[in-house]
């Protein structure tokens, strides 16, 4: 399943890029669906690891910092210097410390940061009260609602405050066996989910719904439905091609790199749309591969430092970073 999710996240990152290209109004809304898929798998992965790995909190922030926030802040710095300020400005340093959403296309990373912080605190408290605590549903809702309360002070977008796809992914992870069995037996539901997703998106595009219905469908129903569709596909469709899997491992890095390529092309390059699209995707992918290599080197250096520890601890640290 892990290999399948790698490929599907890559597809979601392509959706996000299409949403930001601004080549046609029809594709503009597809970006938030892609972000919803990332939220879904973030909630699912966090819950799954909590349930199945008793040592998951060990090195939690070190691992997240290296894999998620080091590449994020690296690309965020480049974006601010090249695009926002066109040179270095001390204000950029303040933006690094102030965890609001003043980071343009990269708002999802700061949103997930609040989720990780609140998750870690509540999980620690639960384990202090009871070492064998298994109130996973409660943990998920506490994380979801508390992070929303923290974010609501400076944000109005419901997708950033209460991403429903996150908690849906979390709940599915807690009921994984029964849900997986049901989805595997009813493969035809993939077609139903896909048709429902397309019809809802078309209705939004053509503004068939009234204001409140449009709000609920666009911000909550579509991202959750897309997350469920991709999860169902992950169960049914197997991808064992190593080359394809390796080529798709940089989905997160593509999300980080693409704003720089898009904004640079829009501001400095007067080129036809087809060439613009090709440059964005090729440039984004190449930049993402380089960023992935950089992150892997940092991870490797961190693991190498652990070689001074006893052999058992070294093996444990390596396993945590590779899983």
The better pLDDT of the pair 312, 238 is held by 238
pLDDT at residue 292, rounded to an integer: 92
Report the C-alpha gap between 184 and 167 in whole angstroms: 22
Average pLDDT of the segment spanning 56-71: 85
Which of the residue ranges 23-27, 180-184, 223-227, 228-232 would you say has the lowest mean pLDDT?
Answer: 23-27
Q: Which residues contact 174 (CB under 8 A, 6 or more apart)?
A: 47, 51, 136, 137, 140
- Please say whether the beta carbons of 149 and 118 come within 8 A: no
pTM equals: 0.87
- Determine the Cα–Cα distance for residues 251 and 292; give it in Å rounded to an integer: 10
Compute how many other C-beta atoms are within 10 angstroms of the C-beta atom of residue 263.
Answer: 17
Spell out the domain ranges in the chain.
2-322
- Mean pLDDT of the region 53-66: 84
Average pLDDT in the chain: 83
Q: Which residues contact 35 (CB under 8 A, 6 or more apart)?
A: 12, 16, 108, 159, 223
7-40 confidence digits (pLDDT tens):
889 999 999 999 888 888 888 778 888 999 999 9
Spatial contact of 3 and 240, defined as CB atoms under 8 Å apart: yes
């Amino acid at each position: 399943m892990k290999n399948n999710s790698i490929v599907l996240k890559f597809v979601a990152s392509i959706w996000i890029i299409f949403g930001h290209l601004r080549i046609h109004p029809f594709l503009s809304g597809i970006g938030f669906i892609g972000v919803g898929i990332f939220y879904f798998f973030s909630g699912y992965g966090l819950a799954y690891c909590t349930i199945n790995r008793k040592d998951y909190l060990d090195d939690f922030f070190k691992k997240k910092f290296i894999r998620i926030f080091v590449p994020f802040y690296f690309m965020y710095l480049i974006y601010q210097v090249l695009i926002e300020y066109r040179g270095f400005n001390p204000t950029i340093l303040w933006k690094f410390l102030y965890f609001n959403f003043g980071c343009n296309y990269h708002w999802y990373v700061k949103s997930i940061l609040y989720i990780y912080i609140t998750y870690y605190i509540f999980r620690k408290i639960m384990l202090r009260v009871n070492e064998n605590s298994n109130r996973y549903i409660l943990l998920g809702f506490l994380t979801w609602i508390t992070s929303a309360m923290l974010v609501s002070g400076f944000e109005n977008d419901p997708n950033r405050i209460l991403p429903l796809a996150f908690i849906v992914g979390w709940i599915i992870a807690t009921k994984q066996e029964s849900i997986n069995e049901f989805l595997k037996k009813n493969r035809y539901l993939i077609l139903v989910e896909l048709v429902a997703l397309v019809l809802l998106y078309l209705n939004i595009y053509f503004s068939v719904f009234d204001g409140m219905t449009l709000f609920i469908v666009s911000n909550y129903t579509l991202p959750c439905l897309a997350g469920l569709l991709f999860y169902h596909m992950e169960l049914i469709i197997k991808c064992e091609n190593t080359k394809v899997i390796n080529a798709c491992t940089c989905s997160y890095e593509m999300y980080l790199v693409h704003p720089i390529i898009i904004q640079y092309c829009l501001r400095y390059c007067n080129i036809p749309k087809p060439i613009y699209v090709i440059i964005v995707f090729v440039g984004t992918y190449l930049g993402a591969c380089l960023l992935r290599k950089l992150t892997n080197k940092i991870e490797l250096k961190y693991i190498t430092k652990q070689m001074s520890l006893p052999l058992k601890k070294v093996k444990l640290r390596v396993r945590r970073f590779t899983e």
